[in-house]
Amino acid sequence: FMMYLHYQAVHAPYKPQVDTYLPLARRRFPNPITVARWRDSYEQQVAEGCVPGNPRFDDMVLRYDAQIAHVDNRIRELLDAMQESGVLNRTLFVVTADHGEEFFEHRYLEHTWTLYDEVLRVPLIFNAPKVLRPTRIEARVELVDLMPTVLDLMEVTHGRRDFDGAPLFVRREDGFYFQ
């Protein structure tokens, strides 16, 4: 089977679940600064010192991190349920993201303004126990390679040559290997 699941939880406004936020928070801000409010009053926020190192700014980042933890927990629950139902070992499971976030590392906030690693580097995880061996690839890849890679791993015959990307793995007699 195939299931497309898109979690929206790691997008602004950062309103994390209490169970993931409170264990990370040293101080809880009842009226936290939001990305939109910070961006809309950028010069005022910077003049008031609301930049990395400032507790209110750092709380905004912490809320983002807590939302990531929340999604991690939901993915873990999904994998556990798939394992319990017996389908995980015969499922290609892919995890990725559409973008990262920049938190003033280069004087910008969010993800639409720059092309720095904070925005461009996202996870790309393949789990296919009977097809791929566990390994960590340090090479940079592109999400444009995702569709041709999934089609190859699923051994879908398609005959298309108009992909902008290319498969990330090559098939050998004993399985698929990163190219």
User: Which pLDDT tens digit goes with each residue over 42-58?
Assistant: 889 899 999 999 998 99
Half-sphere exposure of 140 (CA within 13 A, CB side): 4
How much is the average pLDDT of 86-99? 92
What's the whole-model pTM score?
A: 0.87
Q: Indicate the range of 86-95, 146-155, 169-178 predicted with least confidence.
A: 169-178
Task: Look at residues 143, 125, 124, 132 and name the one whose alpha carbon lies nearest to residue 90.
Answer: 132
Cis omega before residue 13 (within 30°)? yes
Cα dihedral value 74, 8, 153, 142, nearest 10: -130
The yes-or-no verdict on residue 30 having pLDDT over 80 is no
Please report which helix (H) or strand (E) contains residue 95, including its range: strand 93-96
**For residue 161, which amino acid is it?**
R
d(CA 98, CA 129): 25
Start-to-end CA distance of the chain, whole Å, equals 26
pLDDT of residue 68: 95
Looking at every residue in the chain, the average pLDDT score rounds to: 90
